[in-house]
Amino acid sequence: MQTSPTRVLAIFRHFYPVLAGASERFRRYFPGLRQRGIDFQVVTTTVEAHEPPPLNVACPLLHRVEVTGERRIDLDRRLLQEARRLIRSPEFHGAAPVIQLISGYPALAPQLIRLRRSGARTLFVGTMVEPSRSPDSWAGQVKRVIRQRLLAASFDFFVASSGVMAEEMIASGAPRKRTSIISNGVDVDRFRPLSDDQEKQSLRDRLGLPPSAPVVLFVGNIMPRKGVDLLVEAWQGVHRVFPEAVLLLLGPLERPTLTLTAEREELRAYQQRLFANCGSLLGDRIRFPGESQEVDAYLRAADVFVFPSRKEGLGNVVLEAMASGVPMVLTDYLGRPRSELGVPGTHFDLSDFSPQQLAGHILGLLRSPERRRDMGEAAHRWARQYHSLSGTLDSYAALYQALSQGSRFEAIAGCK
């Protein structure tokens, strides 16, 4: 007897063709989840003049909602209303659907609790580690307890991508016995090391990069949280030693996910200061290629990857760089996993937020081809062993099925 697929309604404020880290990650999960019997659908907002995805882009069924206003909480409330409407339709009769969110504001608790009471299962997937603040007054302590209880009442289960994130969730109110860690995973077939030097030269020719100059790569949004300003400042020291070296800052300047006008204006001002700080190096030794669908090619063409973020979750691109066998320098950002990425000095170099120290780590790798090779090989092995995409898909599929059927999903080691 054929069983019906497990239905999941994932709520994202933005989805393809708007590229946002968490939503894009789950879009890439979609084909593998479908193969595992998961009917993964998305509730999201409309985008201006959006077009259907190209035929070569796998995309789940999208339920788009027109939302007005700038406040994120208003977007989430409207999307939850649409999710409730959908699960009450005949299409969703049968096994309990799973409602997945990546935001858990206390103000959403009434809607989420109603969803749980109606038979839906709710799942919170963490994407970022936020700074914790200890309340300094009796009233603040009471508010914190209320927020913790609302969070626990709102969701059936919680997923973190690292132990650091899991502990932050638990401190915020997630019950330890209902919290588990699932890696973001990485496609180790797409993100792979170079096959030989000839491939590297071919990639550099195609991407318009110098054939023999050192190339250092950053991938991500050009925004304050990613620490691009720190990297540009550090590059002055690198340039003095390797004047022919090229810094590639690969990522979008525009952020459609910013809903507040003030945020967009702040981002533009930051980028203008960034361009000014590049000085005469802008355009030749410091390049902004923009957003690219060929991150894997850029990684294989680079000599060193640098990720100077100030706050992060696990970091999709960090796993992609590791799987690609590219030696990398990370900053000690808020939320940096303490074990999931390997050992500093072996699988990556770890820098503080000093431009001088960051430049020193970059220079150390550029000066030693042997160390770059050893670090890249160790990182590649680590990514394949602990962060395979197939393992991530198996874990999410098992969790969705357990939630839908009302069965137990074990909290993994470290969260019991």
Q: Per-residue pLDDT tens, the chain, 416 aa: give them.
A: 446 789 999 999 888 887 778 888 999 999 999 999 999 999 998 865 455 555 456 788 889 998 776 678 888 899 999 999 998 888 777 678 999 999 877 889 999 999 999 889 999 999 988 777 666 677 778 788 888 899 999 999 999 999 999 999 999 999 999 999 999 999 999 999 999 999 999 999 999 999 999 999 999 999 999 999 999 999 999 999 999 999 999 998 887 676 677 888 999 999 999 999 999 999 999 999 998 989 999 999 999 999 999 999 888 999 999 999 999 999 999 999 999 999 999 999 999 999 999 999 999 999 999 999 999 999 999 999 999 999 999 999 999 999 998 877 766 543 33
Q: Is residue 117 classed exposed, middle or buried when 0-12, 13-18 and 19+ CB atoms within 10 A define those classes?
A: exposed
* 377 contact partners, CB below 8 Å, separation of at least 6: 193, 325
**What is the spatial distance between Cα 40 and Cα 10, in angstroms, rounded to a whole number?**
7
Domain 6-185+389-405 falls in which CATH fold?
Rossmann fold (3.40.50)
Amino acid sitting at position 244: E
CB neighbours of residue 345 within 10 Å: 10
Tokens of 143: 């508010």
| Residues carrying CATH 3.40.50.2000, the chain | 6-185+389-405, 197-386
Three-state SS annotation for 56-117: CCCCCEEEEECCCCCCHHHHHHHHHHHHHHHHCCHHHCCCCCEEEECCCCHHHHHHHHHHHH
Beta bridge partners, 179, equal 158
CATH number assigned to the domain covering 197-386: 3.40.50.2000
- Quote helix, strand, coil % in the chain, to nearest 5: 45, 15, 40
Q: Is the bond into 17 cis (omega within 30 degrees of 0)?
A: yes
CB neighbours of residue 344 within 10 Å: 13
* pTM of this structure: 0.92
**What is the spatial distance between Cα 147 and Cα 159, in angstroms, rounded to a whole number?**
18
Phi, psi (deg, nearest 5) at residue 11: -105, 120
Name the 3-class secondary structure at 331: strand
Half-sphere exposure of 391 (CA within 13 A, CB side): 14
Tokens of 285: 């030794």
**What is the spatial distance between Cα 170 and Cα 176, in angstroms, rounded to a whole number?**
6
Round the CA-based radius of gyration of the chain to a whole number and report it.
Answer: 22
